[in-house]
Amino acid sequence: QVQLQESGPGLVKPSETLSLTCTVTGVSIGSYHWSWIRQPPGKGLEWIGYISVSGSPDYSPSLRGRVTISADTSKNQFSLRLDSVTAADTAVYFCAGRGQRQCDNWGQGILVAVSS
């Protein structure tokens, strides 16, 4: 059974860096594609980016320059780093993944608020 679990701080100050980790159990992350997706309160889903089987990341243009997705196969984890956050980055952040073209499995989500 594949399970994903996000972890990280629930509160980040404006201009600082948001860092989240997704721990995957049940499969080796090196065999699949893994994504980060976010959802502002009461709004729709926004694709942040993914890291592919080959380890190559791809990011949403709207966040490129501020976002980094990386993977640690030794820990079976992948991570999200978002720099210079503002209130507009307040959202539930989901990690998800498996197939190249669809997210078969999702974490439960973690609410990250940006506030001083």
Partner 1 sequence: DIQMTQSPSSLSASVGDRVTITCRASQTIGSFLNWYQQHPGKAPKLLIFAASALQSGVPSRFSGTGSGTDFTLTISSLRPEDFATYFCQQTNRTPYTFGQGTSLEVK
The least CB distance from residue 69 to partner 1, in Å, is 12
User: What are the phi and psi torsion angles at 62 (to 5°)?
Assistant: -70, -20
Is 7 exposed, middle or buried, given 0-12, 13-18 or 19+ CB atoms closer than 10 A? middle
Q: How far apart (Å, rounded) are the C-alpha atoms in residues 30 and 9?
A: 26
What's at 19, amino acid-wise?
S
The residue among 15 and 62 lying less far from partner 1, judged by its C-beta, is 62
Which one, 16 or 66, has the nearer CB to partner 1? 66
Q: Which is nearer to partner 1, 5 or 76 (CB)?
A: 5
Q: Which residues of the chain form contacts with partner 1 (CB under 8 A)?
A: 35, 44-47, 49-50, 58-62, 94, 96, 99-104, 106-109
